[in-house]
Amino acid sequence: MQRRTARTRTALFAGAVAVGLVLSACSGGAQQGDPNAPIEVWTRSQDDTKKVYEKIFKAFTDKTGIPVNYNPPPFNDFDKRVQERAQSKDLPDLVITDTGSLGPYRKQGFLVEVDRNAFAGQGDLVERAWNNGKTADGKYFAVPFSTQAQVLLVRKDWREKLGKPVPKTWEELAALANDFTTKDPDGNGDAKDTFGIVAPGSTDRGYLAWWAANYIWQAGGDILSESGGEYKVAVNSPQTTQAVNWLKGLFCDTKVTLPNSLTMVTNDAHNYFEQGKAGIYLTGPYMFTRFDKAPGKDKYEVIPSPAGPSGSTVLGEGEVIYQMAGSAKTAEQKKLAEFLVSPEAQQLGMKPDAGQRPVVRLSVNKNVDVKAVYNDPRWDTVAKVYAENARPFPNVPNFQPFRQQTAETLNSLFAKCGSDVSAELTKLAGNLDKELKSQKAAQ
């Protein structure tokens, strides 16, 4: 798509003043160095969540008079488009996406360091959430925007039809998954058309490691272990090996996962729970709105992840605000970031219109009461899990290579059922150790 001319940008800016929010017709933004252009913001969003962000940015413009150019790229092309804009030295002014991008963006010089002491309202933000923007050297290169913990969604109607208890342990979880796979839980007379577990097992962006890490931690294992700010590889520990063997059994022995799990990204995975093809899904609370429509709010329940040998630890991360390097609008970047974490913006992000998903799940602002905003006990469960059992990935300089290599090894192990888990994890450990040393983060 062609980039805009200066004349077009001027027209857009004039329009922005009039309407407050610029919603441009193509994916290119104004030149990043143009001080007269609206501030350009990208988010990793789908159509429904874009509308929630539009409401937030309109409130910002109404309050400050600063226009926003918000036209993010398609969800599945987000990373590619960011790299394309970086190549042309024309990054958006501000980006909101997950914490997984912190290391890669920092390494590539995309980010402006955040001065917490100069950030208005920084003391109102949850300290734990600030860690989502902290890099391995203790500096901050992102501002927290939303946090969440993974929770288990279970087809309640299927479970009750089969007379099974709410699972509280791995053993009960595996037994329920097996019954969902073999006992016709939807009662349609076909015992072969449902499965137990939705597992996004693609290697794309390291998705499989993102999902499997929950179970590795629940066994007391890890990918990397940390001590005093330095790390060592833990992916071949006995506890990690135990967890991977247990997961492999779900794919290879009882076959309770969907047959195409190992090529499935999260966007594909959502469909199978929605369509009643599988009944157990460990995922984020942002899916409640969609799943309340199908399979239906009364059809599924939200519970903490059942305990493994060492507890119920799950991933607790979220989205952060990146102020991108090269912007000519640094004051506007900071002002927008400060607005986005205010109680006003956070609550707008938590209260979408019907059919839309929230873009703020658990607020990062201490002055926002989750119970009062949502008035939904399922969100109380999410908040409790986040407070008691959630943890992030390690903040090594760049965790993405570790996540990616772990996902590729796990994907291969679960695809080749005769493979040797211990041998493959030992091989992976050697590769991760080299990566640790290259990042100068090894003990």
Query: The domain spanning residue 89 has which CATH number?
Result: 3.40.190.10
Number of domains in the chain: 2
Strand blocks (E) in 199-277? 224-227, 230-233
Model pLDDT, residue 355:
86
User: pTM of the entire structure?
Assistant: 0.85
Q: E strand or H helix at 214, and its extent?
A: helix 207-218
- The residues near 433 (Cβ < 8 Å, ≥ 6 apart) are 232, 233, 442
Angle between helices 238-252 and 400-415 (to 10 degrees): 50
Q: Are 77 and 125 within one domain?
A: yes
Model pLDDT, residue 32:
54
- Whether 195 maps to a domain, the answer reads yes
Model pLDDT, residue 76:
87
Model pLDDT, residue 228:
76
Model pLDDT, residue 7:
33
Model pLDDT, residue 24:
37
Q: Are 189 and 304 within one domain?
A: yes
Model pLDDT, residue 441:
79
In this structure, are residues 252 and 414 in contact, taking their beta carbons and an 8 Å threshold?
Answer: yes
Using 70 as the pLDDT threshold, list the residues of the chain that sit under it. Answer: 1-35, 443
Q: Are 297 and 387 within one domain?
A: no
Model pLDDT, residue 190:
97
Distance CA 433, CA 385 (A): 32
- Whether 16 maps to a domain, the answer reads no
| Local structure of residue 293 (DSSP, 8 states) | I
- Whether 24 maps to a domain, the answer reads no
Q: E strand or H helix at 385, and its extent?
A: helix 377-389
Q: Are 171 and 250 within one domain?
A: yes
Q: How far is CA 405 from CA 250, 394, 399, 425, 433, in A?
A: 21, 15, 10, 11, 12
Range of the domain at 265: 151-316+396-439
- On the 0-12 / 13-18 / 19+ scale of CB atoms within 10 A, 311 is middle
Q: Are 254 and 309 within one domain?
A: yes
Model pLDDT, residue 227:
82
In this structure, are residues 314 and 385 in contact, taking their beta carbons and an 8 Å threshold?
Answer: yes
Q: Are 207 and 294 within one domain?
A: yes
Q: Are 233 and 370 within one domain?
A: no
Model pLDDT, residue 23:
37
Q: Are 216 and 119 within one domain?
A: no
Q: Are 94 and 216 within one domain?
A: no
Model pLDDT, residue 31:
52
In tens, the pLDDT along 312-359 reads: 999 999 999 999 999 999 999 999 999 999 999 999 999 999 889 999
